[in-house]
């Protein structure tokens, strides 16, 4: 396994911009979050750096993740792009850097961009490296290049409506860590009658049930919210323990419903 420990719970910042993301990060840090997930393409690294600097929380207490965009995958572009991310985030090193999407159409060979990512780690720009939106086939290729132990996580869409069982099983067999994004399926699961019934039985909310479902399978989660009360409530999922029956019932919700499937980027999903 990779020697770095990835926090099980963090703040996702996709679609959060300008003052909205500053406020979200500030509120998250105040209610107890210590992991922040961003990406070059989100266009909010500078604002996140500002929010962290103004928070008073020591950098060493935080776990920062960013992701390299597809335009920066070439061997001569990746490291400079990451250095620019560090400048915006006001830090000398991030904790985790991911390849955001595999190179569209394989325009940049995986050996080239994973090699550049490994070089960024060797230079001390990032403590750990990993991938995002990688399928079983892509992971096999990445393992052949880097070795499984160097891949800290594969960040993929996973929710009660998209349980990604083939990929999850492969990753478990390889000892690879999985980070779930869009665990709430853009909020669609919040109105699910089955999840609502389970939540009522536990005296909690549907968001907490969905997040606890992912956590109990060993996945990390990075839910996003702009409301302080929701940020605090989401954290409570860490204390919720679902029964085997609850987990089995949630397993029946899988319908392969994917929220993030951009035609120009998406690989051939499992």
**Strands of the chain, DSSP E:** 11-12, 35-37, 63-68, 94-99, 126-132, 151-157, 178-181, 220-221
- Alpha-carbon distance of 152 to 158, in angstroms, equals 17
- Alpha-carbon distance of 67 to 15, in angstroms, equals 14
| Residue 262: Cβ-neighbour burial (10 angstroms; 0-12, 13-18, 19+) | exposed
Q: Which residues contact 76 (CB under 8 A, 6 or more apart)?
A: none
Told to judge if 42 belongs to the known catalytic residues of this protein, a careful annotator would answer yes
Tokens of 231: 């940020």
Contact call for residues 20 and 62 (beta carbons, < 8 A)? no
The one catalytic residue among 42, 113, 161, 181: 42
Task: Cite the active site residues.
Answer: 42
């Amino acid at each position: 396994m990779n020697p770095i420990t990835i926090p099980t719970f963090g703040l996702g910042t996709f679609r959060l911009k300008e003052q909205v993301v500053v406020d979200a990060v500030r509120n998250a840090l105040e209610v107890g979050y210590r992991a922040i997930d961003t990406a070059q393409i989100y266009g909010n690294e500078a604002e996140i750096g500002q929010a962290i600097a103004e928070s008073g929380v020591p950098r060493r207490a935080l776990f920062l993740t960013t992701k390299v965009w597809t335009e920066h995958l070439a061997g001569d572009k990746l490291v400079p792009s990451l250095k620019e991310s560090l400048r915006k985030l006001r830090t000398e090193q991030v904790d985790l850097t991911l390849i955001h999407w595999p190179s569209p159409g394989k325009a940049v060979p995986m050996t080239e961009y994973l090699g550049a990512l490994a070089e960024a780690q060797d230079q001390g720009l990032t403590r750990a490296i990993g991938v995002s939106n990688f399928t079983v086939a892509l992971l096999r290729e990445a393992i052949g290049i880097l070795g499984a132990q160097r891949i800290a996580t594969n960040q993929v869409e996973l929710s009660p409506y998209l349980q990604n069982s083939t990929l999850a099983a492969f990753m478990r067999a390889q000892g690879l860590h999985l980070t779930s994004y869009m665990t709430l399926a853009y909020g669609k699961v919040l109105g699910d009658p089955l999840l609502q019934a389970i939540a009522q039985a536990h005296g909690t909310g549907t968001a907490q049930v969905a997040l606890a479902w992912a956590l109990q399978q060993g996945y990390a989660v990075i839910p996003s919210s702009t409301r302080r009360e929701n940020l605090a409530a989401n954290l409570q999922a860490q204390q919720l323990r679902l029964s085997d029956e609850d987990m089995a019932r949630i397993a029946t919700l899988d319908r392969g419903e994917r929220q993030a499937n951009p035609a120009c980027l998406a690989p051939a999903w499992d």
